[in-house]
Amino acid sequence: MRRAPALRAALVSAVALGMLTACSGDVASEEANYTGDYSSHPPLKVVGYPSTGSLGITQQVVWRIADGKADELASLTSDDRGEAVAEKTAKNWIDAFRKGAGGQVTAEFYDEGSYRQTVVLYLHGTGQIKEIHVRPVRLEGEDKEVWGVNMAEPDPGEATAVQPWVPKTPGERGSKMVP
């Protein structure tokens, strides 16, 4: 008689596990990709207060630049200015920052991170600084939001310009609001 509750519990557990794994193919694939990227790149140093989403997209931007993957970098765009602008921006970023992105990078997160963040990347090996803007966007035909990066710098000069407010070293302003 005591076997019935144990058998019922095992059966319920097996059904629940089956339902979870049947729905998690994409999640498992995304986790495997993230783990591979994370283990094959130097760790990103962080200053400020990123959200989970803003940190994740920032890591992906740095990794795609370091790997020279223009198509994958362009696919991270949050803009609706067209593929050509994102692709040209991705190429500019890779041409300008690939060497530095492959080494030690510090990302300083400004502003409140639940709906957008300004991120300043410090590429230590080359001494370069790159400001990016990340935000959540709703994918067409889907109910969920994903984080994307503003990629509207098709001019190489614009892609490498450093705004006057950007500190020369991480943490200099205390990761306060962008002026």
Q: 66-103, pLDDT tens digit by residue? A: 999 999 999 999 877 777 899 999 999 999 999 999 99
pLDDT of residue 179: 65
- SS3 of residue 126 by DSSP: coil
- SS3 of residue 90 by DSSP: helix
pLDDT of residue 21: 44
Cite the DSSP H helix spans in 40-82: 52-67, 70-74
pLDDT of residue 17: 41
pLDDT of residue 7: 39
Cα separations (Å) of 93 from 143, 154, 174? 31, 9, 26
pLDDT of residue 122: 98
Degrees to nearest 5, angle at CA 95 with 94 and 97: 60
pLDDT of residue 32: 64
Residues of the chain with pLDDT under 50: 1-24
